[in-house]
């Protein structure tokens, strides 16, 4: 019998020895990890260990925080994400982001979805882009008859899917999600989780979550971060263990990982 080993997935983002600072404060130290194409990668760990900080570095969102900087290297499809010639606006188009609290603009559902396309002077058919994005975000059926209504008139769960549609409409290849379900009820959460599962066919997804069951349900790989006190009395985040989600949850190598995923701390 011949066996067909699974092909190694393509690396989209590569983090090499990255430390992330806010001014002189080192928030995260020495992270090395690869993010693979068409997978969901979950970042988990106790509050303050730097999950959001690292996530925001993946699309240079942290550039917007005065004093924030990255040491080490983060590459995107093999290119240095922080090279001087790289345009952070283009980076954020390719690597979209969905935030903790749904943040639709006070505009119609239609205008929310095509917002980025309009800014970028998109030459294609806006109606088509809008419909495809809403369909991919599993929202089309619920909103197709009220596209002119405000995005703010939707439920929290629908608003979050609208924000996902808005991210998709800029045609990214990576979508970063920072606790996308933390403001949602369980049913809306389930819908967004199902959506994440669908989306990984076309996109690479990195999600920060506090919800361990969610990480176990939606992700292919999980990175567990922790924070430790430094001599200066600060706490610095670091990557404890990164592996397939089943290993992290069932047979992690590190005791701290086991303690965390089994709810013994954090």
Ligand X SMILES: Nc1ncnc2c1ncn2[C@@H]1O[C@H](COP(=O)(O)OP(=O)(O)OP(=O)(O)O)[C@@H](O)[C@H]1O
Enumerate binding residues for ligand X (CB under 6 A).
22, 27, 45, 47-53, 65, 237
Residue 22 or 99 having the CB closest to ligand X:
22
Pseudo-torsion of CA 238, 40, 79, 117, nearest 10°? -120
Residue 53 or 188 having the CB closest to ligand X:
53
Residue 22 or 122 having the CB closest to ligand X:
22
Is 36 in contact with 204 (CB distance < 8 Å)? yes
Is 186 in contact with 158 (CB distance < 8 Å)? no
Beta strands in the chain (DSSP E): 11-22, 25-36, 40-44, 68-76, 79-80, 95-98, 174-178, 204-208, 221-229, 235-244
Residue 165 or 207 having the CB closest to ligand X:
207
Residue 112 or 189 having the CB closest to ligand X:
189
Say how far apart CA 1 and CA 168 lie, in whole Å: 42
Identify any residues that bridge with 76 across adjacent strands, giving them in sequence order: 13, 79
How many Å is the Cα radius of gyration of the chain? 19
The least CB distance from residue 27 to ligand X, in Å, is: 3
Residue 22 or 36 having the CB closest to ligand X:
22
Residue 36 or 99 having the CB closest to ligand X:
99
The least CB distance from residue 120 to ligand X, in Å, is: 27
The least CB distance from residue 49 to ligand X, in Å, is: 4
The least CB distance from residue 209 to ligand X, in Å, is: 9
Angle between helices 126-136 and 109-119 (to 10 degrees): 120
The least CB distance from residue 62 to ligand X, in Å, is: 8
Is 43 in contact with 56 (CB distance < 8 Å)? no
**What are the structure tokens assigned to 220, written together?**
């292919």
Listing from the earlier edge strand, what are the strands of the sheet with 221-229?
A: 79-80, 68-76, 11-22, 25-36, 235-244, 221-229, 40-44, 204-208, 174-178, 95-98
The least CB distance from residue 189 to ligand X, in Å, is: 17
The least CB distance from residue 103 to ligand X, in Å, is: 16
Say how far apart CA 263 and CA 245 lie, in whole Å: 16
């Amino acid at each position: 019998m011949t066996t067909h080993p699974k092909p190694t997935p393509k690396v989209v983002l590569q983090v090499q020895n990255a430390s992330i600072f806010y001014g002189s404060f080192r928030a995260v130290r020495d992270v090395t990890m690869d993010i693979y194409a068409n997978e969901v990668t979950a970042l988990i760990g106790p509050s303050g260990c730097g999950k959001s900080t690292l996530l925001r570095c993946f699309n240079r969102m942290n550039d917007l925080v005065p004093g924030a900087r990255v040491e080490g290297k983060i590459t995107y499809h093999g290119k240095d994400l922080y090279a001087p010639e790289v345009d952070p606006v283009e980076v954020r188009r390719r690597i979209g982001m969905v935030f903790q609290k749904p943040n639709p603009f006070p505009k119609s559902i239609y205008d929310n979805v095509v917002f980025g396309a309009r800014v970028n002077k998109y030459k294609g058919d806006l109606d088509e882009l809008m419909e495809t994005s809403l369909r991919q975000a599993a929202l089309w059926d619920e909103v197709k008859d009220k596209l002119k209504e405000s995005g703010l008139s939707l439920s929290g769960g629908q608003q979050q899917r609208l924000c996902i549609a808005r991210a998709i409409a800029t045609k990214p290849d990576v979508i970063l999600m920072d606790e996308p379900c933390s403001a949602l009820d369980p049913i809306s959460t389930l819908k967004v989780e199902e959506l994440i599962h669908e989306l990984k066919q076309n996109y690479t997804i990195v999600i920060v979550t506090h919800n361990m069951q969610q990480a176990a349900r939606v992700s292919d790989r999980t990175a567990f971060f922790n924070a430790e006190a430094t001599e200066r009395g600060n706490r610095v985040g670091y990557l404890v263990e990164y592996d397939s989600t089943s290993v992290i949850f069932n047979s992690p190598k590190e005791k701290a990982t086991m303690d965390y995923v089994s709810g013994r701390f954090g």
